[in-house]
Amino acid sequence: MNAQKKKLVLIGNGMAGVRTIEHLLKLAPDKYEITIFGSEPHPNYNRIMLSSVLVGGADMKEIVINDWSWYQENNITLHTGDPVTKIDTDKKMVYSKNGHKVAYDEVIFATGSKAFILPLPGADKEGVIGFRDIADCEKMIDASKQYKKAVVIGGGLLGLEAARGLLHLGMDVNVVHINPYLMNLQLDEAASKMLQRELEAQGMKFLLQKSTVNIKGKKRATGLVFSDGTEVDADLVVMAVGIRPEVELARASGLTVNRGIVVDDFLRTDLPNVYAVGECAEHRGITYGLVAPLYDQGAVLAKLLAGANSDPYTGSVTSTKLKVSGVDVFSAGSFKETPTTRSLKLQDDLAGTYKKLVIENGKLVGAVLFGDTSEGSELFSLIKKGESIEGREKELLLGFSPSQGGGGSSPEARLKAMPDDEIICGCNGVSKATVADAILSKGCNSVSAIKSCTKASASCGGCKPLVEGLLSIYSDGSGEAVKEGICGCTSLDRDEIVAEIKRMKLTNINEVINVLEWKNSEGCSKCRPALNYYLGMLYPDEYIDEKESRITNERYHANIQKDGTFSVVPRIYGGVTSPSELKKIAEVAEKYEVPLVKFTGGQRLDLLGVKKEDLPKMWEDLDMPSGHAYGKTLRTVKTCVGNTFCRFGTQDAMGMGIKLEKAFERLNTPAKVKIAVSGCPRNCAEASIKDFGVIAIDGGWELHVGGNGGVKVRATDVIGVVKTEDEVMEWGHAFLQLYREEASWNERTAHWIERVGLDYVKQKLEKQEDRLALMERIKHTLSLTTDPWKEIVEKDELRKNFEPLKSTQPATL
């Protein structure tokens, strides 16, 4: 290290503190010798994305903001899993739990906050946790594997995100909230009730106006007792009732602490050379829990430490967006009605939209949007500017117009009129000017390039449409310049790649990469699997599947778990099994000492915790087809008992489901595909949220497409009604082949249909001759497939195929 450099210590490796360091490195890269202490065993990661980790939409690698190499490249000494335990502000020394002693010239407190655990009787029992970090996510995921019922205390933003994650993990979830409506700090009652209806449709249950007085159970929690004498059972209790600034160390160090560490407008504490930023800091009596204000603070502090001129930090107007539940909700400013405010409201229950504007002294001071949040950025801008909107109130309510100085009501016109200092990405504090500079000066000609350069759209993704709009405005106008390719290796999109493969008759992945001039001559983990699929789809007879370009799970026909063990799911057609089949599975599970056997949501058995060395012999002993629970292929066909047993059933749902599953098993598809067959309109098999759903009606079958029960729930569209099982098979074959031929890699049917439109799909399948042609192509492809395990056994490749597993590292969040 350079001896002339001043020593800077950052206490806390979270988003606010590290963002301050990022700014400082840009302003004065050689001024400080930097040491960072973090209490968690991870590099700097995006806490906003924890809910996505919980629901499986992201893993730890995807939410890391600065990986290990970033610290090394910037000569930062990082101590993870090593919280600071003492500071001597007289000697200017920092002491850590693991025995490190570091001198400082300047020290920043960025200790963040901790989940508030209600001081209830029983709060110390097993199964009672907060929701604040990766460790909490791991506990919730582990609990979902053993237990069924969860209760979340707190109906705010954090509580609903936790509840949606637990719901996705297969748990029965109740949300307990002391107020009469959800998200009462962010929404008014009308928007809250609309949100509640949407979440109830997803499966959440709500216990409102309930005050918890006790947590039941002996060693482990078994439920809650409320002040009105009622109770609810639960195996897992998650408290999401708020956060508390982490200030114990600061208080012990002699800093002035109220709710948070008291700072001035330049984030200075009352002790020299000591600063505080982020959730632990209290500025003008306010502590902030949203990321945008924390990044504003970091920018001011970085300029101060760099010796640059800076305007003081004077506080922030905040906005909130619900990101995980699949429901679009936005609020900003002060939206509560008072005697001095007026409000305008527009509610459409049919469309599921709601808009409320709150006006005081001729200025917009608050806004609530539900269902359609596209105008959130513009409204937030008006709130922050504090300019008069007199005479334009109804125009704002009905939508932005030319009278607002935007030169037109189109999104492009509004983006052009937006000030340069307007924040585009609230999660990462990226302004319009920063995005424009990335495009104009740094050659960023795709959303992914802008994301890498500025971090805009790298968090929740809500600002991606704005980034795309700016890309269109500031590029040279050519389509090539603004397109985002399938990955960073190429600017070509899916359709262009497929067209070029066909035009030039390219036959393998390396040929495609070389001829189409990939930036990375080896490709990457995103494009190689995509090319492998496109080539196989185009040339089913000639193309030899490239196993090494498949994801790990597909190569080994099992799901790798976070502890390095595997999950094995044999196929059980239509969820219908037999005593002998169950006995065989049980015997194999006992033989290989499988620690957990679980029924899946797709009516199959999942053998969890299988050792990697046991996988080959286990599949041999099972002698059953793989359920492909790991692949981009047909996963499951869920059925009810239909008219075989049920008095309400009108058709043979089990028979139809088995027929569909046997027809489409082993079919490679752009993304995973799920099918369900319900024997009557009561829809017990949940066919209305599957990729292809079949619901029996009197005298026929109703065909549904494009459903999704994942993070963003999408109900199916009805594509037609048919009379016979043969017609169901015809339409099923045709629909799946059309999807195979036209969807992008990793694009679910729900997203594909939203992109191309239901009318387009109906038009493509309208004529029987077209359906039969598609059916012939998919049948030909299927005729070339065999169960991968049969193939491996016959070729004596069982052991050889698993050699790479010897070096496999345990999967981690």
Given a cut of 50, whether residue 479 has pLDDT beyond it is: no
Among the residues of 129-224, which ranges form H helices?
134-146, 157-168, 189-202
pLDDT computed for residue 57 by the predictor: 56
d(CA 222, CA 355): 41
Indicate the SS3 state at residue 13.
Answer: coil
Residues 6+ apart with CB under 8 A from 740: 537, 667, 668, 669, 670, 778
pLDDT tens column, 503-561? 888 889 989 988 888 877 777 777 888 899 999 999 998 888 887 777 666 766 777 77
Given a cut of 70, whether residue 50 has pLDDT beyond it is: yes
Cα dihedral value 253, 257, 263, 268, nearest 10: -10
The DSSP output letter for 116 is P
* Topology, domain 128-241: FAD/NAD(P)-binding domain (3.50.50)
pLDDT tens column, 602-658? 899 999 998 888 888 888 899 898 888 878 899 999 999 999 999 899 999 999 999
- Domain 128-241 in the same topology as domain 6-114+245-306: yes
d(CA 408, CA 411): 8
pLDDT tens column, 337-373? 889 999 999 988 877 889 999 999 999 999 999 888 8
pLDDT computed for residue 410 by the predictor: 60
* Lowest-confidence segment of 212-226, 230-244, 551-565 by average pLDDT: 551-565
Cα dihedral value 409, 412, 414, 417, nearest 10: -130
Given a cut of 60, whether residue 198 has pLDDT beyond it is: yes
pLDDT computed for residue 707 by the predictor: 93
d(CA 170, CA 763): 37
pTM over 0.75: no
Q: Which residue has the higher pLDDT, 433 or 250?
A: 250
Contact between 675 and 634 under an 8 Å Cβ cutoff? The reply is yes
pLDDT tens column, 729-782? 999 999 999 999 999 988 899 989 988 889 999 999 999 999 999 999 999 999
Given a cut of 80, whether residue 462 has pLDDT beyond it is: no
Among the residues of 352-427, which ranges form H helices?
376-385, 393-398, 411-417
pLDDT tens column, 5-43? 999 999 999 999 999 999 999 999 999 999 999 999 999
Residue 458 binned pLDDT confidence (cut-offs 50, 70, 90):
low
Sequential DSSP letters for 563-608 = TS-EEE-B--GGG---HHHHHHHHHHHHHTT-SEEEE-TTS-EEEE
So where are the chain's domains?
A: 6-114+245-306, 128-241, 402-484, 494-550, 632-786
Q: Is 640 annotated as a binding residue?
A: yes
* Topology, domain 632-786: Sulfite Reductase Hemoprotein; domain 1 (3.30.413)
Mean pLDDT estimate for the chain: 86
Task: Supply the Cα-derived Rg of the chain in whole angstroms.
Answer: 28
pLDDT tens column, 382-435? 888 888 989 888 888 887 543 444 434 566 777 777 777 777 776 667 888 888
* Topology, domain 6-114+245-306: FAD/NAD(P)-binding domain (3.50.50)
Indicate the SS3 state at residue 408.
Answer: coil
d(CA 789, CA 802): 12
Q: Is 680 annotated as a binding residue?
A: yes
Give percent of the chain with pLDDT exceeding 90.
52
Residue 810 binned pLDDT confidence (cut-offs 50, 70, 90):
very low
Residue 86: CB atoms within 10 A of its CB come to: 13
Closest CA to 554 of 617, 631, 612: 631
The DSSP output letter for 633 is B
Residue 484 binned pLDDT confidence (cut-offs 50, 70, 90):
low
Structure tokens belonging to residue 670: 């752009």
pLDDT computed for residue 551 by the predictor: 65
pLDDT computed for residue 688 by the predictor: 93
